[in-house]
Every structure is written in C-alpha cells, then in structure tokens.
Structure 1
Amino acid sequence: MTQYLISFNDGAMDHIPGEDMPDVGKAAHAAVQEAVNAGVWVFGAGLERQRASVVATDGMVTDGPYPETKEIIGGFVVVDVASREEALAWAAKFAGACRCAQEVRQLMPDPELDAMLRRADRRS
C-alpha cells in the first residue's frame, strides 16, 4: 500500500455560504467515515487559517501571516491505498463533500523509517 496526501488550499471553501457549512461538515465527516470503514484512513485535519510559524535551521522563529505566499494548505487527509487511481477516487469523494478541488500527491516511501517503527513496535 502507498500513502497519498489529499489536500486543499486555504480559502478554497470561501465560496460556500456560512449557512451551508453544517451540511459540508456532515458530508466531509461521512466521507471520512467511509475511508475509516474501508481501512484506508491514516490521518487528516483542517488547519488554522494563516497561523503558521517558520522555524529556520538556526532555530529562529518567524510568525505569519505571510501575504506573499500564494498557496497555503487549508486541510488535508492521508490515505493508504493500493494505487494512484484509488487515491484519486478518494480525492473525488472529499472534493464533493468539501465542495472544493483536492490536490493528490504520493508520499515518499522511507524504508529506514519503516524499520524504526517495526523495531519500536517489537519493544512495545
């Protein structure tokens, strides 16, 4: 299985009237429940708007907002599926539920991290 990040940009849902947001929330949670039931859900969340901090390699912290930034992630889901086509199908479900386009990107595999996690599991 391969993990995919499905995300949407901050502001992508701004076109939705406030009175429709409870219905959008219900639809989004139904899509999440479907992913959980299918066993593909890994993690997901909405992100606070423009509340980012950037930590430099020297430890210096710069707090946003960053108006020069063109695109900021507004929310995301990580799914673990067998193929890109399956990830795109899940993205379509989330796009319909959230009423906004979704970007799909494959997460890079990390065999060393996988080995670390297996060792940690054996110690538990």
Structure 2
Amino acid sequence: MAKYLISFPSAAMVVSGAELAAAGQDAHAVIEAAKAAGVYVFGGGIDEGVPPVRVSASGAAVEGGYPWAPPITGGFTVLEVPTREEALSWAVRMAAACRCDQELRVFGSDAQSVTTEEPRDESRP
C-alpha cells in the first residue's frame, strides 16, 4: 500500500468565521472515518506562528525557509490506502469538509524508510 498526502495551503481556505467551525467539525469527521477505516497515518496543520529553521549540511541553522521557495502553510493528512482511486475518494471527502481544493500526492517508496511495528501482545499490560 502507498502513503498519500492530502493537503492545502492556508490561502486556499477562504471560509467565513461562521462557517469555519462547521468546516473544522466536518474535517474532523473525515479524519475519524479514516481512523475507523484503518487508513489514517497522521495529519495536522503547520503552525504558522513558529518560523521555520533552515539547517545546512554543515550544521548551521538560520531562521526562515528557502528564500526562493514559497512558504509551506496549511493543513495536511497522510493516509495509507491500496489504490490511487481510494486516495482520490478520501481527497474528495476532505475537500468537501474543508470547503477548499486539496492536493493529492503519493510518497515515493524507500525500503530504508519503511518501519515495521511489532504486533502488540494484548495479553500483556
């Protein structure tokens, strides 16, 4: 199965104050449905009040992102699903909930980056 990123930049979400609370509730409902379906990996939003830090290969750290790139803002969700069609289906649900277009991207596969978790023994505390 592949992992997919569903995301939007902050500027894409043009929702009135009254509608913002409903959009948040609807987005959370989609997340809960993804959790119930066992496809939710993680998600959240970029805290735009905390500036990024760019770290060089030498270890030097400078406040701010790449000066030539647009800032990364907004919200995102990562899902793991068997097909692109299923990922598109979830993106449609998220777009409707957030009241704005969503971008769908697939993560490339890298065997070194894959983690495996030991099955939990439910009989042990």
TM-score over 0.5 for the pair: yes
CA distance in 2, matches of 1:62, 1:3: 31
Letter in 1 for 2:42: F
Task: State the secondary structure of the residue aligned to 1:73.
Answer: coil
* Contact 1:12–1:101 (8 Å) recurs in 2: yes
Q: Residue 118 of structure 2 aligns to which amino acid in structure 1?
A: D
Q: Tell me if structure 2 keeps the 8 A contact 1:10–1:49.
A: no
Q: 1:4 to 1:108 in 2, by over 3 A?
A: same
Counterpart AA for 2:23: V
The one-letter code of the counterpart of 1:75 is G
Question: Normalized per residue, which structure has more helix?
Answer: 1
Residue 49 of structure 1: aligned partner: 48
Q: 1:26 to 1:38 in 2, by over 3 A?
A: same
Does the 8 A contact of 2:54 with 2:66 survive in 1? no
What is the Cα deviation at residue 31 of structure 1? 0.6
Alpha-carbon deviations, 1:39-59, whole Å to 9, x = none? 110100011126222112122
Paired-residue identity, %: 41
Unaligned runs of 5+ in 2: 120-125
* Deviation sequence 1:49-72 (CA, Å, 0-9, x none): 262221121222222377864352
How many equivalent residue pairs?
A: 119
Match of 1:121 among 97, 118, 123: 118
Q: Look up the match of 2:21.
A: 22
